[in-house]
Amino acid sequence: MASAPPSLTYRFLRMVARSAAEVYFFDIQATGKDRIPDGPLILAANHPNSLMDTVILAVQTPRQICYMARSGLFKKGMIVRAIFKRIGVIPIYRTEDLKGRTDLNNDAFRKAYETLESDGCIGIFPEGKNSPDRHVQELKTGTARIALATEARNDFQLGVKIQPVGLNFEDRDRFLSSVLIRYADPIDVREFKEVYERDEREAVHQLTDRLLQELRRASTHIADERNHQLVRDVHRIYGNELAKEFIGELDIDLRPLTHKLFDRARARTGPKPDLDDKFTIEQAIAKAVDHYQKTDPGLVARVRMDIRRYRDHLRQVRLRHDLVEKKEHLKGRRRWDALKMTIYALALGPFAIYGFINNAIPYLLVNQVTRRQPDRTRVAFSGFLSGLVLFPLFYFLQGWALWTLTDHSLITVIFYLISLPITGFFFLRWWRQILAYRDRILSRTLFRSQQNLVFNLENERQNLIDTFEVLKDRYIDHLIAANSQEEVQIVDRPAAEPAAEPAAEPATEPATESATEQTAEAP
């Protein structure tokens, strides 16, 4: 049975949010959207970026999502409360918010059951709170409880599915970063019918464990948060080699984001990099680092120190990994490059300065809003929301001033308003290209005047790559041995004896337990 189409209000809000997200993000990609089923569905996503997660998930999912959200969000004003009710947001109350009203969460779960029973789609973040970057925390059991309870109310004939969704942000704090959404294969809750009828708690825990495993596969998960920077460094130094070996030749741009923003994406000068391939390589590196952290932590510590030393040397001469890697490309054509950049800077400089002057005030105000945000997980959403308000507001005021204070025609005012965002983005591209050219000049000067220093840096980088090669081969051997042993165990495993009847368990906790334990909250 096909699910009902989104409401008019939801479609309008999603259209606005999609337009704003396409401006805010450098690139948004999604894989597995064809796996989104019809019928009763729970979208369960990791939660690295506060309210921005709800925006990204909503604009990429064709179905209307009824989020289960922290009740405090309903206190943001009458307009917000009315919109939330209009699009089906279900409030969840924490223990401190209940004040003895245990019926409030009972009502929330009843609405969740009814939404699923009417073939609706619910959005939940099962971690229950914002998670650290590149890390999926242990899950609350509420998602599994809702799914299993809904099926039990319908004698396991409804067909509720839970679809894990991995939200992968390249840099969750930065304007014009990239994000990849991975829709994993849905989990059919009916698979847990027999376990649920025998032991409800065991079914809840098995389903929660399964969901956790699938979420960590769909997301980049670094088990030890202390290794976050190490994984990123290995990826920057060695990611290109791994991609060529396991995926093939890729157009991977390893420059820092601040130097490549509009050189590729906004200028549309070439294909965007495949984020799924990029995050796949990063996931593989994270798993290898976790393996060595468990088996040889001393080795991990030594590699971390070697990378830190290499990074310090790069920082001292203001170089980057990719400039050391691509040293040969910086030789030759210096005069022609200088002439092109001079013409580019002078000829298009007036347009860029025009864009800067007309966008500077709202940009600086948005920057101040994000800087004052105490919670890092909310930096992106605060910038997104404040930009969505401040830029149109200032554009309106500028257009109004031009219309009322001058004799310009309406057509002139309209063209002026259209020019504001276009030239604002052009200024960013113009400025980044000048900075990138400045870096090339500094690098060429260094390569000519400090040959010994460059040679040492190249040796350091090559030594790190040689170390990574050895560790990669050892890790692959470990994976092959582990898979072979698992296959032998499956073949040699004797027939299982009938399971003993489980001991009597106390009744399942009532649905009125703490919302933070029972289900996940929006930020």
Question: Using H for helix, E for strand and C for coil, what is the string for 195-231?
Answer: HHHHCHHHHHHHHHHHHHHHHHHHCCCCCCHHHHHHH
- Can you tell me the distance from the alpha carbon of 430 to that of 343, in angstroms, rounded to the nearest whole number? 12
| pLDDT for position 194 | 94
**Predicted pLDDT at 354:** 92
Structure token digits, residue 489: 């165990």
Least confident range of 183-192, 213-222, 318-327: 318-327
Q: For a pLDDT cut of 70, what percent of the chain falls above it?
A: 75
Residue 261: predicted pLDDT: 44
Q: How confident is the model at residue 266 (pLDDT cuts 50, 70, 90)?
A: very low
**In the predicted model, what is the mean pLDDT of residues 459-465?**
87
Cα(64)–Cα(121) distance, rounded to whole angstroms? 7
Residue 452 scores a pLDDT above 80: no
Tell me what pLDDT residue 272 has.
62
Is the model's pLDDT at 45 over the cut of 50? yes
* Window from 27-36, 237-246, 305-314 with minimum mean pLDDT: 237-246
Given a cut of 50, is residue 258 above it in pLDDT? no
pTM: 0.75
Domain ranges of the chain: 8-224+512-518, 226-331+453-472, 334-449
Q: Picking from 158-172, 320-334, 360-374, 475-489, which range would have the lowest pLDDT averaged per residue?
A: 320-334
Q: Does the structure show a pLDDT above 70 at 71?
A: no
For the cut 70, the answer to whether the pLDDT of residue 136 exceeds it is: yes
Q: What is the pLDDT of residue 145?
A: 93
Mean residue pLDDT of the chain comes to 79
Q: What residues contact residue 510 under an 8 Å CB cut-off, 6+ apart?
A: none
Check whether 517 has a pLDDT greater than 50.
Answer: no
Q: How many CA atoms lie within 13 A of 77 on its CB side?
A: 3
Q: Please provide the distance, in angstroms rounded to a whole number, between the alpha carbons at the two ends of the chain.
A: 33
- Greater confidence, 248 or 125? 125
How confident is the model over 163-192, as a mean pLDDT? 91
Measured distance CA(158)–CA(37) in Å, rounded? 14
- pLDDT confidence band for 507 (50 / 70 / 90): very low
Q: How confident is the model at residue 424 (pLDDT cuts 50, 70, 90)?
A: confident
Choose the most confident range, by mean pLDDT, from 100-104, 133-137, 202-206, 383-387: 202-206
Highest mean pLDDT pick, 21-25, 203-207, 370-374: 203-207
State the pLDDT confidence band at 384, using cuts at 50, 70 and 90.
confident
Q: How far apart are CA 315 and CA 293, in angstroms?
A: 27
The predicted pLDDT at position 428 comes to: 81
- Residue 479 pLDDT > 60: yes
- Residue 261: helix, strand or coil by DSSP? helix
**Around 518, how many Cα atoms within 13 Å sit in the side-chain half-sphere?**
23
- pLDDT in the model for residue 398: 92
pLDDT tens digits along 348-379: 889 889 989 999 999 889 888 888 877 766 77
What is the mean pLDDT of the segment spanning 516-520? Answer: 45
Q: How far is CA 309 from CA 300, 303, 304, 436, in A?
A: 14, 10, 9, 25
Compare 471 and 274 and report the one with higher pLDDT: 471
From 3.40.1130.10, 3.40.50.1100, 3.30.430.20, 3.60.110.10, which CATH number describes the 8-224+512-518 domain? 3.40.1130.10
Question: Across residues 277-303, what is the average pLDDT?
Answer: 90
